[in-house]
A and B are shown apart, each in its own frame.
Chain A
Amino acid sequence: MIAVIICLLIMLGLQVLTPFWWWIMIVPFAYGVAAARSGARALSIGFISAGLLWLGSCLYFYFTGSRIIAGRISRMIGLGKPGLVILAASLVAALAAAISGYAGYAVQKLFHKSGSKA
């Protein structure tokens, strides 16, 4: 839980300060390399923290002025409803972060001969 919060806050700070989306891959990767205790944990921490971050942020922006644009984009990409775009965005972030976190853990394992639970 703490790992989720820490990852989420770091990603939040970096995303607010810079225009780059890929912090949601870099941070879970770094967590995977430096602190994850298992592959499953690296994967799930990335999934939950990035997914929650984008879900919460999308909802925040949706309710504070992005309702019109979300409606238009949902029609543009064929999803029909803004709620599905919010879900899709969260899922994209969660999956990208999960895979990245797992890759980070795999790198960690390369340099540590023991301790793997994955």
Chain B
Amino acid sequence: MKWARVVVSLLFAAAIFWALDNRHGVVPAFGKFLNPFAGFWQNGTRGDKLPAELSVPGLRAEVKVVWDSRHVPHIFAENDHDLNMAQGYIAASLRLWQMEFQVMYAGGRLSEVVGPTALQLDRFHRRFGMVWAAENAAAETGQDPQTREAAQAYTAGVNAYLSGLKRKDFPVEYKILDYGPEPWTDFKSSLLLKYMAYMLCGNSSDADWTRLRQALGEAAAEALFPYYPPLVDPVIPPGTPLDFKPVPVPQPPSKATPGMGGAPGQWPSATLGPAGFALPGQLEHGLGSNNWAVSGKLTRSGFPILCNDMHLGLTLPMIWFEVQLSAPGVNVRGVALPGSPGVVVGYTEKAAWGFTNGTDDVVDWYAVKFKDASRREYLDQGQWKPTWIREEPIKVRGSQAVVDRVVYTHLGPVFRLEGEPASQEADVPPDTAVRWVGHDPSNEFKTLLMLDRARNYDDYLAALKFWDCPSQNFVYADSEGNIAIWHNGKFPLRWKGQGRYILDGGNPADAWQGWIPHAHNPHVKNPARGFVSSANQMHAGASYPYYLGSDYASYERGARINEILAASKDITPEDMIRMQGDVLNIRARALVPRLMELLKEAASSATEKLALEELRAWNFECRARFIAPSIFERWWRELNVLTWNDEKKGDMTRMPWPSSQVMIDLILNHPDSVYFDDKGTPEHETLAEIALKAFRAACQGLEKDFGPWGESWTWGKVKGTRIDHLGRIPGLGWDRLEADGTSVTIDAIARAWAPSWRMVVATGPEMKAWGIYPGGQSGNPGSAYYDNSVLDWAVDKPYELIFLKSADEQNPGIAARTIMRGAK
């Protein structure tokens, strides 16, 4: 009896101990987590206090850090090594968990933390060759003394912070997920840039369009997804003369090349049924970024002004953190990526620059023909050539490790093997290899470090030559009065349309056959119109001699930017800040009058009559408090559903929607188009009938989802902007934020995607700038600086940025000073 009592009570106590000491699925290890002395209670605002002194072993001299009232560090070092090391130390102290989580995500290691649920995602990143790509980039970075030393010093700084970190001070996410940080490496910084590159240019429509072409024919595919869509005002102003002599472009292969594996015309193969196509969401058009620069001819000060707002996924912590970096030869202010040395977007004492995504097609997919099921050999140029295997071990928390044996050809990794289910992330057929510019050795760090030191146009241009991937529109302005934009990256030299559809991996004519010389990238300096701009739209008109892709952002933001700037003069920074908050929807402006005309007075229900009145009175601004944007957005969606979804044929499991400018062109200029007819009915529907049907469906849909007409229909509520925590942990984000804007307005606050860093830089003898991002400098959800900028960001109230000349400069915005010293 006594023994039984002992055994039972000990077992019971042990069970309680085990339950509280271990994580169970999404339930944290409550013993550790709730512990007041080392659990989440320690992640409070006490961590916001800034030390007057810090001992950082490895520093060569004293580093002074001036903190402003928004917790922005202004780092002053005596040499580059200390500057990079101090940046690494401070980045880790503010954003350690984010840094590590992002690279674990990119490197296919999330299963180590969250268990088998992340295995598919991890396998996707391994199969896509993310780790291989980062290894290639890290090797290249290591070849260059400047980038090697920067990466090493940054890594040393992160690890110096880690070495002094106590468990109770771990970021709260480690405590929730019950694991701990590991040492930083240079490789992880490379992986971080690959994460950005994949996010910005890792996707492609090749598989979707291949299915579409096969089902509807080449003519329809090219009409619906044209190389040069209507309405687009390209990045490089039409008529800009070429300042280079184009090199010859390769010729496309003949349609039927005998003896080659998997010719695209025969894809998908008979063995691939509809179950093989688990499709991702609709292609999203209109998401991207804006940048522009106006010359001194158009500004009140007589000096250029540069503006940039990069649209990225909304997360807390945000992807950027603000920093000023200063050492002999460098003084730069802007935003950095936690995990990478240098400032990514910002300005120096003489020059400013910013990015928008180039949106070019730098990912091509190739059908590969293997000799047999062993996949040891594949067909290339009529000969069997050996593959090579890269083993990708994936540790899985609470389960056995998995080793993925990824097959590589000269093109790149084979993404999906025969018999494997389709990936949700890339819906390509089996035995397809991926060729990505991001796989090749490159050193984008070099560009960033050189831009951080740029003083004039030549410095800027020299820096751009090192930037391969992701391709970006690099906007530029300087205090000498220059403005410029380069559509910049490393682009394969291809025949027109090469890579638009899945290619034949065995055909040399389908392979990349060289590179477009850097000087031939689309660019313009000091154009006559007095401004340069980009919004992810088509880079240049038909006179540009090379093919870079055909799936660019729709025209709205770019056209709106250009129409405002073309009508502006005597511009001030305040004008530019206001312009970044412009929410006029030119898609609605183009369509609503015509659609209303088509509807005539057909509205029947009270709700429909109210909706029509609302649209009639609308000024086309997408304000959170307006109802009209909700009606228009839903009407637009229903119009697309009714116009396009019935076109699905053959093996297509859905019909990709053409971009908005194709649809607008049809409505305004081709109302008799066959696409408006609903193929599912024997009758012939007209545009007017479809427009009415879509309008009624929109009103009914809003009533169903948001209740009767009223406050709940306002755009801010219908749009439902939210900022999730980076790791999707409930309670650590913003569940609801009512903000103006939509994905096609300049102020492109969509549901979960929005301007991630708005910046306006007024160049001149003294650079002045304003900036804001949705979040805060600290990655700690318990900090007062975690999300302190969100509300100001939502109403577009950027902060004037403090840019110090020296660490001893006085400024009312300075909140604290820290001296960092190497250990004696």
Contacts and interface: CB of A to CB of B under 8 A. Distances in A.
A98 B730 CA distance: 32
Contacts of B46: 64-66
B44 interface: yes
B39 A69 contact: no
Interface residues on A, range: 35 or more
B31 A66 contact: no
B118 interface: no
Given A99-B16, A102-B9, A19 B45 contact: no
A25 interface: yes
A25 B3 contact: no
B39 A109 contact: no
A66 B43 contact: yes
A81 interface: no
Contacts of B5: 106, 109
B616 interface: no
A99 B8 CA distance: 11
Contacts of B3: 110
A89 interface: yes
B40 A106 contact: no
B40 A22 contact: no
A57 B2 CA distance: 37
A70 B41 contact: yes
Given A19-B168, A68-B784, A72-B782, A107 B6 contact: yes
B380 to A, nearest CB: 53
Contacts of A60: 36
Nearest to A110: B6
Contacts of A58: 36, 41
A96 B16 contact: yes
Interface string A7-40: 0000000011001111001000100000000000
Interface in B95-111: none
Interface in B610-652: none
Contacts of B2: 106, 109-110
Interface residues of B, number: 43
A41 B17 CA distance: 21
A45 interface: no
B12 A103 contact: yes
A103 B9 contact: yes
Pick the most buried of B41, B42, B43, B172: most chain A CB atoms within 10 A of its CB.
B41
A92 interface: yes
Contacts of B12: 99, 103
Interface in A72-115: 72-77, 85, 88-89, 92-93, 95-96, 99-100, 102-103, 106-107, 109-110
A77 B784 CA distance: 21
B44 A106 contact: no
Nearest to B4: A106
B38 interface: yes
By DSSP majority rule, is chain A's interface helix, strand, loop, or mixed?
Answer: helix
A25 B780 CA distance: 30
Interface string B569-593: 0000000000000000000000000
Given A25-B13, A69-B781, A99-B13, A76 B41 contact: no
B9 A92 contact: no
A76 B729 contact: yes
B732 interface: yes
A75 B37 contact: no
Contact of A103 (B13, B166, B783): B13
B782 A92 contact: no
Pick the most buried of B2, B731, B784: most chain A CB atoms within 10 A of its CB.
B731
Contacts of B784: 68
A47 interface: no
Contacts of B815: none
Nearest to A53: B36
A69 B781 CA distance: 6
Contact of A19 (B21, B167, B783, B786): B167
Pick the most buried of A19, A29, A96: most chain B CB atoms within 10 A of its CB.
A19
B461 interface: no
Contacts of B42: 61, 66
B226 to A, nearest CB: 48
Contacts of A85: 34
A19 to B, nearest CB: 4
Contacts of B176: 76
Interface in B284-335: none
A88 B34 contact: yes
A76 B36 CA distance: 17
A78 to B, nearest CB: 8
A74 B43 CA distance: 14
Given A62-B41, A64-B46, A76-B730, A15 B35 contact: yes
A20 B12 CA distance: 20
Contacts of B17: 22, 25, 96, 100
B272 interface: no
17 contacts: A15-B36, A15-B37, A21-B35, A21-B38, A54-B35, A58-B41, A61-B42, A66-B44, A68-B781, A68-B782, A69-B40, A72-B732, A72-B782, A75-B730, A76-B732, A93-B34, A107-B6
Give the 4 A-B residue pairs with the shortest CB-CB distance, closest first. Answer: A69-B782, A76-B731, A75-B731, A66-B44
